[in-house]
Amino acid sequence: STIVAVLVAPALAQSGQATFYSPYVPSSCYGFDTSKFPPGNLIAAASKDLFRNKALCGAYFEITCKGAVSGSGGCSRTPTVKVRVVDLCPGCHANSFDLSIEAFSRIAKLDVGRIKI
């Protein structure tokens, strides 16, 4: 008989920040191939510490808006979005993401610019 062990790691919630960017190509993960982008361009570029030299390419994250970095408010009524990592954000703070305009606008007002996540 064979014994198979399955390890399940709980999702880790970490604090960080999010901004938004465009254009989306070329991306560090897929170059000019947008066929790997999810519908609606719900994509993100991850900070260098998370990206780990392309190890995060294709990974999905749920990003939740916790409010504007400067001031209060800023989040939408539906403050969570699921995004796929397709790029590196070399200028992002640790544990942070640069979201597509489509993803950012689902969870926060664009004029806020930078949110806590």
| DSSP three-state, residue 25 | coil
Q: What is the DSSP letter of 57?
A: T
> What's the pTM value of the predicted model, to 2 decimals?
0.86
The C-alpha R_g of the chain, in whole angstroms, comes to 15
Q: What is the pLDDT of residues 49-104, one digit of tens each?
A: 999 999 999 999 999 999 999 877 889 999 999 999 999 999 999 999 999 999 99
In this structure, which topology does domain 17-116 adopt according to CATH? Answer: Barwin-like endoglucanases (2.40.40)
Q: What is the pLDDT of residues 26-41, one digit of tens each?
A: 999 999 999 999 999 9
